[in-house]
Amino acid sequence: MGAVTSVLVAAVLWGTVGPAQIWADAGMPPVALGAARMLLGGLVLSVLTVRPAGLRTLVRPGVRRWVGLSVLVTAGFQVCFLESVERCGAALATAAAFGTVPVVSGVCARLLSGERMTRRWLWGTACAVAGIGFLLLPGSGARADVPGVVCAVVAGASFGVYIAAAGELGARGADLAAAAPVSVLCAGLLVSPFLVASPEGLADPRALALIGWLGLGTTALGYLLFTRGVGRLGAATTGTLSLTEPLVATLLGVALLGERPGPRAAAGGVLLLGGLVLVSLPPGRRNRAGAKRAGPERAPAEPAPPGPDPAEPARAPAPG
């Protein structure tokens, strides 16, 4: 229960990212906000978790390129997700980003390690793609415009690639406890020129409070709680618990922010979440028996979150 509680609380924290951004209304450009969040959260995480021995594993031959890729997609996730929240609202941005993750992570697992695409994964992917299509339909009644949904899809794709990169890092002997904070901090440094070029609203107390919550609460504390519990839970259990993130974002968006998606947008969100449930459920007895006869497959590593925020596969953290 302690492990379940840790992962559940982490997912709840990641689910507050979008609602907090809208509620604070700090007037900061999403790119600058993402840079500030990554710099603060990455610095705190690095001080608390990174050790010299772990850093040395990140500069080995064959590891450096995957570290570089993880930095790039971490920056892409943060910037695109916050931009999508700005355009679409917290509920739909989180749902669209989450719906894309299993598609991209499954394809990457197939290409890199030859993992089989199960029937359940195919059905879940089909639901996710259909849900995104509903969000793009004219007259959906949502705040989402096409660029906003595209940003959410790019954010989800970035997190899916991050999962693959973290898996490759783990397979090559890299210390993932060091790789995640380094990726977040370096991604913040990569995007920091935008913070210097667009410092609008940075001195506002609401902006400072928002950066503090996103950097310390959702990034540093969320990561520490997640890693504390994920090692003692199965992949399917972790993935199902991580579904708390879009649920929290949706509930806060409706209850506190007045978001009222229309019928088409609501149907799209239901399809997205349904697809996530399909890919997160544990395999049936028949599937487990078939997998045992086929021999062990390469297990995905346990990557740490790219900065969120909530989720992969299912063992991966939520993209808070």
pTM metric for this prediction: 0.76
> Looking at residue 291, what is its pLDDT?
45
Total residue count of the chain as it appears in this document: 320
> Looking at residue 177, what is its pLDDT?
81
> Looking at residue 162, what is its pLDDT?
84
Q: How far is CA 37 from CA 6, 98, 256, 298, 306, in A?
A: 22, 20, 23, 34, 12
Give yes or no for a contact between 36 and 195, defined as CB atoms under 8 angstroms apart: yes
CA 186 to chain centre: 17
- Residue 163 DSSP label: H
Name the residue ranges covered by the structural domains of the chain. Answer: 2-294
CA distance 49 to 301: 18
Instruction: List, for residues 234-281, the tens digit of each pLDDT value.
Output: 555 565 666 677 778 878 887 787 777 677 777 777 877 777 677 666
> Looking at residue 160, what is its pLDDT?
82
CA distance 176 to 161: 15
Ordered DSSP codes for 19-32? HHHHHH-----HHH
> Looking at residue 44, what is its pLDDT?
93
The reply to whether omega before 246 is within 30° of 0 (cis) is no
What backbone torsions phi and psi does residue 202 show, to the nearest 5 degrees?
-65, -35
Residue 98: in which H helix or E strand, if any?
A: helix 90-113
Low pLDDT (below 70) residues in the chain: 1, 115, 132, 135-145, 227, 229-243, 261, 276, 279-320
